[in-house]
Amino acid sequence: MCERITVGTSPATLKSSQLKHSWIENEILNKDPDIVVALRRTDLWPALQAFPARADSAIQLAGDIEMGFTPALLVQDGLPLAALPADVREQLRNTLHGLFLSHIDCSALSRELAAAGIGLKNRLMVFLDTWSNENICDEDIRSHWSAVLAAAERARRALGALPRGVVLP
């Protein structure tokens, strides 16, 4: 694979960073099962209920990879390329996008992120059912949270494989 240059950010880049760092690493992976048991006892984790919706955001991002990281985003109608004729800008967008697709396997990245997001959401839904069941013992909470951690690690790796900005091949 050729060396890539990453420039600028896009909404897809920002969403990827937020999901990977702000959510998965700082709200899931930093909590071992014993911490989760303690949080359940004190009922001090209101953000937990929103986790499946965040997994949905990762699944949605999987569908946005191709257009979210393409260098064609850099060819907008604004300055400095606004002076170029519209057909030249369109040709430049198409050329940049074609080069991008020849260097980045968007389909593979998308499939892995979608699968990881679905797996994480499924584990979270099972965990939330366990969390809300007053008859579940601490060991079951630990076990189900360990499954969430494994799914979250897969999602973190999938997000980490994405470009970190708009990519120039």
Taking only the tens place, the pLDDT of each residue in 128-140 is 999 999 999 999 9
Task: Determine if the pTM surpasses 0.85.
Answer: yes
pLDDT the model gives residue 92:
92
CB atoms within 10 A of CB 58: 24
Annotated domain spans of the chain = 17-66+105-163, 70-103
Least confident window among 56-60, 68-72, 76-80, 122-126: 76-80
Scored b (16 or more CB within 10 A) or e, 130-147 reads: bbeeeeeeeeebeebbeb
Rounded to an integer, what distance in angstroms lies between the CA atom of residue 144 and that of residue 76? Answer: 47
pLDDT, tens digit, 9 for 90 and up, residues 133-169: 999 999 999 999 999 999 999 999 999 999 887 767 6
**How confident is the model over 46-72, as a mean pLDDT?**
95
Contact at 8 Å (CB) between 75 and 37? Answer: no
